[in-house]
Amino acid sequence: MARYKRLSIYDAGGDLSKEWFVKYHYLKPRDLWASDKPEYQRFKISKTINCYHTLAERKQRAKVVMAGMKVLLQNYQFNPFKECHLVDRVEYSGYSLSYCIDKYLKHAESNLRHSTYRNYRDRLNLFKEWASAKLDGIMIYQVRKQDVFNFMTENQVSRKWKNKTYNHYLQAIHTFFEYYKANYDDYIKDNPCEHIKRLEVEEKGNRPYNDSEFTKTLEYTKVHYPYLYTYLRDIYYTCYRPGTELRNLRIYDINLSSRRMSVPAETAKGKKTQWIPIDDVLYEVLAEKNLDAYPPDFYVYGLGGKPAAKPIVEKHFNRHFKKVKEALNLHPDITMYSMKHTRVIHLVQDGEKLHDIIKLTRHKTLAELMNYLKDLGVVIGEQPNFKSRKI
């Protein structure tokens, strides 16, 4: 695309009573582009031309000015956008990609869990830094699919992203653009991430403990990491997610008299308050914590190994569980969350009805529960009894 065009003289039809000038159109910097406005801006130069009062002199002066401007423009010696302070910069500043990302993150901070917000913040800020360096103050409506794809592929190579990480970044950027597409009329018409393909990720599935691993883990943690032991035991009985749901469990979320406990909307995966039943064994486990001795708004798993006003940091149990895995040489895919998977398998093996199990797992439908059980390797129904030929 040419930097400038239509360099010419306007002579008002030879009328010396009107203003004469040299005019040209110069390509706007990309950060000034707008979907409803032209890409070139018109400029005119009238100084030193209209001070001549004869037709011949004014024509000659206009030719000199045009010739001088042609040399400056052709030799990259003049850029009107660097010489002028344009009102347009103020007009379009609210549409800059950097500003829009900051605006979105401010909105997201009050609507997402802290850990989720932190991930979005880090991923979008990296995109913002890359765009500022590579795309020179681009507007949100100027971002193309190619721009996003270039960011993804360049960083995948330089930062050695795995496919899962690649997809997380793409999802964060897609969500950002979708927010403006859904809520603002004049920012973007299409999401530039819409047709960028996600990369294939190897699904390892949910890994439960086998009987030996389960027993060894509980016995070892009970002796060496008693606080972790109670945490793992609670994951097993409640089927709560360890990182957000159980760690942020407060005393008032537990109602022993009605035999149920809640997962508040702010920590639940579906952002909706959910409830699970408290059976006899879980009742005993909760009762032995003596939670009535603490304020009801205290976190069950607080600082100092007991209920407290602040929850224990997320890395505490992760760090200790890593040591347990190393000491017991557990399978690499075993996690604290594997306690939930193991609990569900035990319930099926003990003959519990799926309609009762779903109350604990909080799946929306039996079909979802069946798919989950399939990932665990659980076969519901009559087991096949093949007669294999000995060889």
Residue at 192 is within a domain: no
pLDDT single digits (tens) 47-65: 678 777 888 888 888 887 7
DSSP structure class, residue 14: G
Same domain, 137 and 10: no
What integer pLDDT is reported at residue 167 of this predicted model? 94
Question: Which one of 87, 108, 124 terminates a domain?
Answer: 87
Domain hosting residue 248, numbered range: 211-375
Which stretches of the chain drop beneath a pLDDT of 50? 84-92
Residue type present at position 275: W
Among 343, 147, 387, which residue's Cα sits nearest to residue 240? 343
Look up the CATH number of the domain holding residue 367: 1.10.443.10
Give one DSSP letter per residue of 85-110, joined into a string: --HHHHHHGGGBHHHHHHHHHHHHHT
Look up the CATH number of the domain holding residue 122: 1.10.150
What integer pLDDT is reported at residue 92 of this predicted model? 46
Q: Do the Cβ atoms of 173 and 193 come closer than 8 Å?
A: yes
Residue at 235 is within a domain: yes
174 token code pair = 């897609």
Same domain, 325 and 232: yes
Angle at 109 between CA 105 and CA 110, to 5 degrees: 130
What integer pLDDT is reported at residue 343 of this predicted model? 92
Same domain, 141 and 173: yes
Same domain, 177 and 298: no
Same domain, 257 and 171: no
Residue at 326 is within a domain: yes
> How many of the other CB atoms lie within 10 Å of CB of 274?
16
What integer pLDDT is reported at residue 239 of this predicted model? 92
What integer pLDDT is reported at residue 82 of this predicted model? 64
Residue at 47 is within a domain: yes
The conformational region for residue 150 under phi > 0 = left, psi -120 to 50 = alpha, else beta, is: alpha
Going across the sheet that includes 254-255, the strands are 254-255, 260-263, 274-277
Going across the sheet that includes 40-45, the strands are 4-10, 21-27, 40-45
Same domain, 71 and 153: no
Residues in the chain: 391
What integer pLDDT is reported at residue 27 of this predicted model? 81
Residue at 150 is within a domain: yes
**CA–CA separation, 147 and 53 (whole Å):** 54
Same domain, 270 and 165: no
Residue at 177 is within a domain: yes
In sequence order, what E strands does 60-191 have?
none
Same domain, 113 and 160: yes
Residue at 229 is within a domain: yes
Same domain, 250 and 316: yes
Q: How many domains does the chain have?
A: 3
Q: Do the Cβ atoms of 188 and 177 come closer than 8 Å?
A: yes
What integer pLDDT is reported at residue 86 of this predicted model? 36
What integer pLDDT is reported at residue 73 of this predicted model? 75
Residue with tokens 């895995």: 325
Same domain, 352 and 223: yes
Question: Which pairs with CB-CB distance under 8 Å and at least 24 residues apart come from 119-123?
Answer: 119/168, 119/172, 120/172, 120/175, 120/176, 123/168, 123/169, 123/172, 123/173
Same domain, 334 and 363: yes
What integer pLDDT is reported at residue 26 of this predicted model? 82
Same domain, 104 and 149: yes
Question: Which one of 87, 110, 140 terminates a domain?
Answer: 87
Residue at 66 is within a domain: yes
